[in-house]
Amino acid sequence: MLKAIKGTARGRELLGPGGLPVVIEPLLPGDINGPFPYSFPDVPGPRRPPTRWVIRFDPDVRGPLLLLMPPKGKPQEPYEGHPLPIQMLGHELGHAETGIDDGGPNHMSNVDQNENPISSQLGLPTREAYGIGKE
């Protein structure tokens, strides 16, 4: 799945030289984010900088219900749908490699800068809103 992301222009930028290596680990029972992925830097020791980013991720889980926009070339009407695992991985990769959070107008910073460019370059729907039913 990381390989497919690396096949996109934005994925190549994120996974190119200069960033920390990324390690994908399975989600653990009782993980803080439920079935959804999250990422964090490893902590090698006191006062040591992180050496890698860990993304905890279950490739069999689809994302939460979100407002999505069809890929280019389809009628551009927003609809409610679930992002695919590869889109959630692209989202976490954006957090990991750029350090960006889910801030910005409507919490869309990471979505706009990383997740949506990857989705679009994979020919997948893009996210129109960070969540449904919450601001």
Given the rule CB under 5 A, which residues bind Zn ion? 102
* 58 and 26 Cβ atoms separated by less than 8 Å: yes
Smallest gap from Cβ 16 to Zn ion, in A, equals 21
Rounded least distance, CB 38 to Zn ion, Å: 8
**Residue nearer to Zn ion on the CB measure, 31 or 102:** 102
Nearer to Zn ion, 58 or 77 (CB): 58
Task: For residue 92, count other CB atoms closer than 10 A to its CB.
Answer: 24
Q: Is the CB of residue 81 less than 8 Å from the CB of residue 125? A: yes
Minimal distance, residue 74 CB to Zn ion, in Å: 26
- Of 99 and 123, which has the nearer Cβ to Zn ion? 99
Please choose, from the candidates 98, 83, 89, the residue with its C-alpha nearest in 3D space to the C-alpha of residue 129: 83
Strand partners, 126: 69
Between 102 and 112, CB nearer to Zn ion: 102
Local structure of 20: helix, strand or coil: coil
CB of 13 vs Zn ion, minimal distance in Å = 18
Query: Are residues 51 and 20 in contact, defined by beta-carbon separation less than 8 angstroms?
Result: yes
Q: Which residue of the chain is nearest Zn ion when measured via CB?
A: 102
